[in-house]
Amino acid sequence: MKELLEGSQAVAEAVRLCKPGVISAYPITPQTHIVEELAAMVAEGKLRAEFVNVESEHSAASVVLGAVATGVRAFTATSSQGLLLMTEVVFNIAGMRLPVVMTCANRSVSAPLNIWNDHQDAITVRDSGWVQLHAENIQEALDLHIQAYRIGEGPKIMLPVMVNMDGFILTHGLEPVDIPSQEQVDSFLPPYNPLYKLDVENPLTLGPLVDPDYYMEARFAIHDTHKDVLRLIPLIRDEFQKAFGRSSGGLVEEYRVKDAEKVIVAMGSVCGTIKDVVDILRQKGKKVGLLKIITYRPFPSLEIYKALKDVPRVAIVEKAVSLGSYSPLLSEIRSVFCGKKNPPVISGFVIGLGGRDITIDSIKEIFKRLTAKQISEEYIDLKPELLGDEFV
Amino acid sequence: MKEIRIHARAGQGAITTASILGYAYFLEGKFAYAFPHFGAARMGAPMNAFVRVDDKPVRLRCQIYEPDYLLVADVTLLRGFNCFKGFKAQGIAIINAREGSASGEHKPEQKIYLVPANDIAMETIGRPLSNTALLGAYVAATKEIKLDSLIEAIKHRFSAKAAQQNILAAQKGYEYIIKCLDQ
């Protein structure tokens, strides 16, 4: 059924269709509408789940950890400081191999306090073991939530999945979306039935103390499972397309990359703006393209290598930083080409931090700056008048 | 592609206006992307909401800098705040203001309509919620969508009494512009 929905409502619909037994969350802008909507669905009896109100994100994450540990599908959502407060539990959820699904309504991190969009929150927990997916638009956000449970709950996977969607831009924007039927989702997503769960009849321990004799193997196992996730995600995308009739998800999406001389690599909603700019420049005969990263963890190195190996100039356009070093995506993509013959010239651009608007001109400027000379890393749309003389 | 920029103060219902307008376009088979931009997120602070409409899915995610159409929910925003910034040379603006108010400086081919939407709202809704009256005026002034689509969108948004009142407000806003055009 097609509807014009706010991104948050669309995600709530997706979650409802996935039938979680437990939802727990603490409200934080711009995630709030998602969990408000779900709370209303539970109160109105449209969703048979227990909605657990908690006093903090740390508790919200702990509640869904416990729920999934007992074999119940669960959902939570957060943003920014909320994710940071959860971080301890976020690592535990992955370490205990519990396939929680969480929406991260991406928002900048304090200080200074800022409620608007960038990717710093999700990037900050990139090493936690969670699968991290990024949505470009509201339909993709809806679809990725359905896929997320399939990916995470795979018997050989058993890992949590974070679906990232840009705060305000997608959470508070309205767009036409296709809401699948319950039957469609039921036949795509079987009930959660884990091999191991907390059960008083068959006691077991999750997340115990392990000494140096055991710890490394537990960590290695998660790392190695991420390789399986890389193989699984394209299969889930294909199966989703067969079941729902549209392509959503996957590892990366190539947009007019074949024959391109300049390609931007980016994640999330800015990819839509970049696609429009690519079309504008292509009409003028400029050979440009976009490589959209959908799956950020596990990192699809091989797909990125294949997509970019014949592209002379590449721009990594990123809404996050690693203060004191190169930005995360830039470092990783440069390392993909380390030691390879004739690698592209890879330049780095930081953009849109704290919700600074990313315009058509911002993207055109990046394409323009992609010359044969590598740009180590540059911040786009900085306001020099706000910086002291020592920065100029 | 058409781009609509709404100027309002936080609390005046700009997001509701954008979502109703987006829905009316959606009912006519168009692709709409309606989205807000919050400023300080305080009641009364100037804020924008936007609607971008096309025959194909809208991918562009930036704010609207060169609107085809403007909706100004509060005439006081014209003071010390350039609502007309980037306004297209042949654009159409609907401003919530009584007849004879200063409509701000604009280019010769731009059409500026002053609609007493607060008066209409007081008469129909009983509160100065100007949004649906402005949307009715928008439909008449731009001829972008049918009044019926707007009425359907209002029904979708509000229930029972509120829907009736807002439909009346939209009709009166619509008729106000038709009368202006006839003169």
Domain boundaries defined on chain B: 2-182
Q: Which residues pair with residue A53 across a beta bridge?
A: A25
Q: Contact at 8 Å (CB) between A7 and A171?
A: yes
Q: Homologous superfamily of B2-182 in CATH?
A: Pyruvate-ferredoxin oxidoreductase, PFOR, domain III (3.40.920.10)
**Residue of chain A whose alpha carbon sits nearest to that of B50:** A173
- Which of B15, B26, B59 shows the shortest C-beta gap to A176? B26
Give the distance from residue A85's alpha carbon to the nearest chain B alpha carbon, in angstroms. 23
pLDDT of residue A293: 98
Please judge whether B35 and A357 are an interchain contact, meaning their C-beta atoms are less than 8 angstroms apart: no
**Residue of chain A whose alpha carbon sits nearest to that of B32:** A175
Please judge whether A276 and B35 are an interchain contact, meaning their C-beta atoms are less than 8 angstroms apart: no
Q: Helices (DSSP H) in chain B: which residue ranges?
A: 14-27, 117-124, 131-142, 147-157, 160-182
Give the distance from residue B81's alpha carbon to the nearest chain A alpha carbon, in angstroms. 19
Per CATH, domain A2-244 is 3.90.1170.40:
no
**Residue of chain A whose alpha carbon sits nearest to that of B65:** A359
Give the distance from residue B164's alpha carbon to the nearest chain A alpha carbon, in angstroms. 22
Q: Contact at 8 Å (CB) between B87 and B21?
A: no
For residue A112, whether the previous peptide bond is cis, meaning omega lies within 30 degrees of 0, is yes
Q: Which CATH class is domain A252-391?
A: alpha beta
pLDDT of residue B123: 97
**Residue of chain B whose alpha carbon sits nearest to that of A359:** B62
**Residue of chain B whose alpha carbon sits nearest to that of A172:** B35
Asked if B35 is an interface residue toward chain A (Cβ–Cβ < 8 A), one would say yes
Convert the pLDDT of each residue in B46-103 to its tens digit: 899 999 999 999 999 999 999 999 999 999 998 877 899 999 999 999 999 987 777 7
Residues of B in contact with A272 (CB under 8 A): 58-61
Please judge whether B62 and A358 are an interchain contact, meaning their C-beta atoms are less than 8 angstroms apart: yes
Please judge whether A174 and B18 are an interchain contact, meaning their C-beta atoms are less than 8 angstroms apart: yes
Residues of B in contact with A115 (CB under 8 A): 38, 41
Chain centroid offset of residue B113 CA: 11
What are the residue ranges spanned by the domains of chain A? 2-244, 252-391
Q: Contact at 8 Å (CB) between A243 and A329?
A: no
CB atoms under 10 Å from CB of A388, counted, come to 7
- Which of B22, B36, B61 shows the shortest C-beta gap to A269? B61
Asked if B41 is an interface residue toward chain A (Cβ–Cβ < 8 A), one would say yes
Within 13 A of A359's CA, how many CA atoms are on the CB side? 9
Q: One digit per residue, pLDDT tens: chain A, 392 residues?
A: 999 999 999 999 999 999 999 999 999 999 999 999 999 999 999 999 999 999 999 999 999 999 999 999 999 999 999 999 999 999 999 999 999 999 999 999 999 999 999 999 999 999 999 999 999 999 999 999 999 999 999 999 999 999 999 999 999 999 999 999 999 999 999 999 999 999 999 999 999 999 999 999 999 999 999 999 999 999 999 999 999 999 999 999 999 999 999 999 999 999 999 999 999 999 999 999 999 999 999 999 999 999 999 999 999 999 999 999 999 999 999 999 999 999 999 999 999 999 999 999 999 999 999 988 999 999 999 999 999 888 86
Residues of B in contact with A172 (CB under 8 A): 15, 35-36
**Residue of chain B whose alpha carbon sits nearest to that of A271:** B59
* Mean pLDDT value across residues B123-152: 97
Amino acid at B6: I
Asked if B31 is an interface residue toward chain A (Cβ–Cβ < 8 A), one would say yes
- Which of A4, A166, A272 shows the shortest C-beta gap to B59? A272
pLDDT of residue A359: 98
- Backbone φ and ψ for A288, nearest 5 degrees, come out as -125, 160
For B:86-105, CB contacts with A below 8 A are: none
Please judge whether A359 and B36 are an interchain contact, meaning their C-beta atoms are less than 8 angstroms apart: no
CA neighbor of B94 nearest in space, from B116, B71, B126, B110: B71
Residues of A in contact with B26 (CB under 8 A): 4, 176
Q: Contact at 8 Å (CB) between A174 and A5?
A: yes
Asked if A172 is an interface residue toward chain B (Cβ–Cβ < 8 A), one would say yes
Tell me the pLDDT band of B40, cut-offs 50, 70 and 90.
low
Give the distance from residue A269's alpha carbon to the nearest chain B alpha carbon, in angstroms. 7
CA distance A171 to B6: 19
Please judge whether A273 and B34 are an interchain contact, meaning their C-beta atoms are less than 8 angstroms apart: no
Interface predicted TM-score (ipTM) of this complex, two decimals: 0.95
Strands B92-96 and B111-115: parallel
**Residue of chain B whose alpha carbon sits nearest to that of A29:** B41
Instruction: Give kind and range of the element (H or E) at residue B6.
Output: strand B2-9
